[in-house]
């Protein structure tokens, strides 16, 4: 198990720099045996109980001192049942953490995709748009933006796809408002702080 200050959502890919000896050992075993590891938000003192199985999809660089730069991809979620011992890195007994049967409606899916596209346009991001029929649409949408870890952890722990989509719509709307306001401030700054008068 690998506790970090980041949240890895299902379907999300993220780079990691592996430098501590215990985690170099962990990732080395995962690469040699083609195994996943558990990534959870937290540290040595406190760790969240719900995390994500992570698979190393690419090794970007290997350094002479044993450090690694890798890319990992999020898989299924799990819940920690109890910690175990015997290794240099953290280990635990876990159980699957699955959704309840509560898919988003067609209207909720459409709204989430519309707000997602609006935020993409406002930020000028170069991301692809997930398919509406995806069973993990909420995770695919959220994985394409850099939300704060606490917000991502809330999404990770939510077991209803419908409620995740509703929460995402709120997050996208707030994000769009912030970006739009930043554009207004930047435009005003370009005129030395003087707004252009209206009218013909």
User: What is the predicted pLDDT for the residue at 191?
Assistant: 56
Range of the domain at 124: 106-189
The answer to whether 2 and 148 are in contact (CB under 8 A) is: no
Query: Which residues 6+ apart lie within 8 Å of 177 measured at CB?
Result: none
Q: Which of 36, 64, 96 is the last residue of a domain?
A: 96
Question: Of 87, 106, 104, 110, whose CA–CA distance to 160 is shortest?
Answer: 104
User: What is the predicted pLDDT for the residue at 183?
Assistant: 66
Q: Which of 76, 96, 116 is the last residue of a domain?
A: 96
Q: Which of 66, 96, 126 is the last residue of a domain?
A: 96
Would the pLDDT of 195 be above 50? Answer: no
Q: Full-prediction pTM beyond 0.85?
A: yes
Would the pLDDT of 179 be above 90? Answer: no
The answer to whether 144 and 127 are in contact (CB under 8 A) is: yes
Would the pLDDT of 44 be above 70? Answer: no
Indicate whether 176 and 147 sit together in one domain: yes
Rounded Cα distance between 68 and 27, Å, is 9
Indicate whether 113 and 35 sit together in one domain: no
In a domain, 112, yes or no: yes
Rounded Cα distance between 10 and 2, Å, is 16
Q: pLDDT tens digits, residue range 85-113?
A: 999 999 999 999 999 999 999 999 999 99
Rounded Cα distance between 90 and 47, Å, is 11
Indicate whether 17 and 76 sit together in one domain: yes
Indicate whether 6 and 91 sit together in one domain: yes
Rounded Cα distance between 26 and 90, Å, is 9
User: What is the predicted pLDDT for the residue at 194?
Assistant: 44
User: What is the predicted pLDDT for the residue at 176?
Assistant: 87
């Amino acid at each position: 198990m690998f506790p970090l200050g980041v949240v890895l959502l299902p379907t999300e890919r993220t780079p990691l720099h592996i430098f501590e000896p215990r985690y170099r050992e962990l990732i080395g075993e995962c690469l040699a045996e083609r195994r996943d590891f558990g990534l959870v938000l937290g540290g040595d003192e406190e760790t969240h109980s719900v995390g994500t199985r992570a698979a190393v999809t690419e090794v970007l660089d290997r350094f002479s001192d044993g450090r690694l730069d890798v890319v990992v991809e999020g898989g299924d979620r799990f819940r920690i049942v109890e910690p175990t011992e015997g290794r240099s890195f953290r280990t635990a007994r876990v159980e699957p953490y699955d959704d309840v049967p509560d898919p988003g409606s067609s209207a909720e899916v459409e709204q989430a995709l519309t707000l997602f596209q609006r935020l993409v346009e406002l930020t000028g991001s170069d991301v692809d748009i997930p398919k509406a029929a995806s069973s993990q649409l909420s995770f695919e949408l959220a994985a394409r933006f850099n939300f704060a870890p606490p917000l991502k952890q809330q999404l990770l722990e939510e077991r209803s796809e419908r409620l995740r989509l509703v929460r995402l719509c709120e997050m996208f709307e707030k994000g769009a408002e912030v970006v739009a306001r930043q554009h207004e401030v930047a435009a005003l700054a370009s005129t030395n702080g003087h707004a252009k008068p209206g009218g013909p």
